[in-house]
Amino acid sequence: MTSPFPREEYEERLGRLRAVMAGHRLDAVIVDTCEMLDYFTGFAISENRYRAAVIRPEGNPVMVVRRLDEQPFLNAAWFEDRRAFADVEDPVAVVAAVVGDAGRVGLDMHSYCMTVKRFGHLRALLPGTELVDLSDLLMPMRLRKSDAELEVMRAAAAIADEAMRRAIAAAVPGASSRRAASVASGAFVELGADFGRTGPITVGRGWNFMHGKLSGEPLVEGDVLHMELVPKVRGYCARLMRPAVMGEPSPELADAAAALVELQDRQIAAMVPGAEACVVDAIMREGAVRAGLRRDYVNNTGYTLGYYFEQAPRTSDFTRLFTADADWRLEAGMTFHMYASAEAGVAFSETVLVTDRGPERLTRTERRLFRCGEDAGRPS
């Protein structure tokens, strides 16, 4: 077995889950999202057929998995306990059989794998079992990162920095956003990322173009190339946004970029343990509107960062969001993608770790508006 982290890492996670189980008098927990499967087992796979782990107060989890995927499970997980099923079998029925006569069973009712129909089927198969909603408890268990998790996030951040340097340099006159993406993607693969999916790289105006598509159109004078790089190492992601302008930037663009960086620097500096998320958010949200960078600020200014499965239906983790009404507090070990954008067409973002010593930027690329084709230099 080649699980991503030592066995002790998973046992610590199970210990925290079992404390939750004891507090809710649970006989078992069903885990089925990719994020939580990886967190507790070291193994995650797409849901061509339903698959789940059943965790009890003692012993190893039991993985319910397609027989076709049995060997990948054994290669990745830190334990071997499983119930493998053929494609003609009903996987929900196999899960119910593993649950057996458990009286109270917890599950995530926000899970993208637990559809209404599937939940009804499971409940019918377990008529004597009380199904308990753990929606607000499971995902938050992942918020504080261990040293082992931070090690791979630092590796991902270093890849983001170098890939950004190469992509900016490749955006020479006559090149396109597609050219920049191909260079960044190649850097991901070369430098050890899980795969070459870069994240959004596009050209546009305003603040809400950033999730646009690639284009083969050559960059022309005045174009702003927006790059959001999202490399993953062992599934753990770092994220970095930088803008690069083709030719000489207009005074409006240059001023907006400088003002946005200054505001976000202040916001990141406020990210200390115990800080109220709404207060941290207000530095950017209210500051950008006051400075005339945005007429309004309707999106969040940051969100949870960590493990993402490449085929899950969501590409961002909103377990914690920086919004005007966010009533939670920051803790050491939390990691976030903090991002900011202005209507002039520039955006910046960083991967930020909250520590007892204050915030730490894991992404280190210089924070400024770049010129397309320049050598951005390596982070110090």
Question: What tens digit of pLDDT does each residue of 233-266 get?
Answer: 999 999 999 999 999 999 999 999 999 999 999 9
Confidence tier at 215 by pLDDT (50, 70, 90): confident
- Tell me: pLDDT of 70 over 70: yes
Q: At what angle do helices 147-170 and 177-191 cross, to 10 degrees?
A: 140
Segments in the chain forming alpha helices (H): 7-23, 34-41, 70-76, 91-99, 116-125, 147-170, 177-191, 251-269, 277-290
Average pLDDT value over all residues in the chain: 94
CATH topology of domain 7-142: Creatine Amidinohydrolase; Chain A, domain 1 (3.40.350)
Q: Which CATH architecture has domain 147-371?
A: Alpha-Beta Complex (3.90)
Question: What tens digit of pLDDT does each residue of 90-144 get?
Answer: 999 999 999 999 999 999 999 999 999 999 999 999 999 999 999 999 999 999 9
CB 374 within 8 A of CB 248: no
For residues 37 and 42, give the distance between their C-alpha atoms in angstroms, rounded to a whole number: 7
- Tell me: pLDDT of 210 over 60: no
Give Cα 229 distance to the centre of its chain.
12
The DSSP code for 334 is: B
Question: What tens digit of pLDDT does each residue of 314-365 get?
Answer: 889 999 999 999 999 999 999 999 999 999 989 999 999 999 999 999 999 9
| Burial (0-12, 13-18, 19+ Cβ within 10 Å), 85 | buried
Confidence tier at 67 by pLDDT (50, 70, 90): very high
Where do the domains of the chain lie?
A: 7-142, 147-371
Phi, psi of 222 (to 5 degrees): 95, -15
Q: What is the pTM (predicted TM-score) of this model?
A: 0.94
Q: How many beta carbons lie within 10 A of that of residue 84, not counting itself?
A: 17
* The pair of three-digit structure tokens given for residue 380, joined into one six-digit string: 């110090």
* Residue at 324: amino acid letter: A
Give me the percent of the chain exceeding a pLDDT of 70.
96
**Residue 217 pLDDT:** 85
**Residue 4 pLDDT:** 79
Give Cα 101 distance to the centre of its chain.
36
In angstroms, the Cα distances linking 362 to 228, 237, 316 are 15, 11, 18
Phi, psi of 127 (to 5 degrees): -65, -25
